[in-house]
Amino acid sequence: MKKLTSAIALIGFMISPSSLHFKSATTQDFLVTNGAKDPAHFEIYADDYENYFVIQPASFDLPTGGNQHVSVAMSKTPDGSIATNISILSNANSSGAVAFQTGIKLPVTASPKINSNLKASIGDFASSLIEHWLLTLIAVMLIVSILIFAKRQGPN
């Protein structure tokens, strides 16, 4: 049997890659290939955290040997790391065949965007530093002004 690289093969269809990891990318794709001898209908959905993922297309038909690119987009950034599966289910379409359903679970992980959190932290730190620096500068200028005024007044 031909070795499959970065793909999962199960009863007539396969997907590639074998997992998705969202760190900096907000959209990733995977490929579904129908290797069965019959056309098939596919349904795709996230097992958990459904409100975090937009899957397009979520339902489609493939002829024998057909391919379909599926896009998975993050609809919002998680506060922490999350892990779930995307289920890809296949139903045989041929008339007269015994109805059966097969499926593959595509592991998915997502983490908060570290860069955007880091930029926000650096921005907050810089704003705070500038604010403290300005307050210190104003205080020093006020003290210097008072000393100059006192010196000009001199002893009477």
Which of 13, 59, 70 shows the shortest CA–CA distance to 39? Answer: 13
Instruction: Choose among 25, 71, 72, 68: nearest CA to 53.
Output: 72
> Tokens standing for 115?
């860069």
* Interval 98-128: pLDDT, tens: 566 788 999 999 988 655 555 555 556 666 7
CATH code for the domain defined by 8-112? 2.60.40.10
Considering only CA atoms, which of 143, 111, 108 is closest in space to residue 29?
108
Q: What is the pLDDT of residue 112?
A: 80
Spacing of C-alpha 14 from chain mean position: 23
Residue ranges per domain, the chain?
A: 8-112, 113-156
**Mean pLDDT, residues 33-58:** 92
Tell me how far apart the alpha carbons of residues 44 and 69 are, in angstroms, rounded to a whole number: 12
Quick check: 37 pLDDT over 60?
yes
| Beta strands, E only, 6-99 | 8-10, 13-16, 20-22, 27-34, 40-46, 53-56, 59-62, 67-74, 82-92
Residues forming a β-bridge with 44: 88
pLDDT of residue 127: 67
Nearest Cα neighbor of 46 from 65, 70, 25 is 70
pLDDT of 59-86, one tens digit each? 999 999 999 999 999 988 888 889 999 9
**pLDDT given for residue 1 in this prediction:** 42
pLDDT of residue 148: 82
13-28 residue pLDDT tens: 899 999 999 986 689 9
pLDDT at 43: 95
Q: Measure the CA–CA gap between 149 and 128, rounded to whole angstroms.
A: 32
